[in-house]
Amino acid sequence: MATTMKLKIEGMRCENCVGHVKKVLEGLAGVTVHAVSIGLAEFEVVTGKARSAAVAAIEDEGYRVVGGT
């Protein structure tokens, strides 16, 4: 079952960072990026995976997930 979650990301400060994080998330099977807010440093994704898989992929790239739902 797919769920929608928001991920607040520390260190995402520019459009290049947004593009990088988006590419990482979309590289995960079953993850779709639904919305991005650079002002809030937040991604909204739809996924059937556990939140931990998305968080691990982002943090492997040097960003830090600091919140979200």
| pLDDT tens string 3-57 | 888 999 998 888 899 999 999 999 988 888 888 888 888 888 888 877 888 899 9
Question: Quick one: fold of 3-68?
Answer: Alpha-Beta Plaits (3.30.70)
Domain ranges within the chain, ordered by starting residue: 3-68
Torsion of CA 38, 41, 44, 47, to 10 degrees: 120
Torsion angle in degrees (nearest 10) through CA of 36, 39, 41, 46 = -20
Cα–Cα dist 41/30, whole Å: 22
Whole-structure pTM value: 0.84
Q: What is the DSSP letter of 41?
A: T
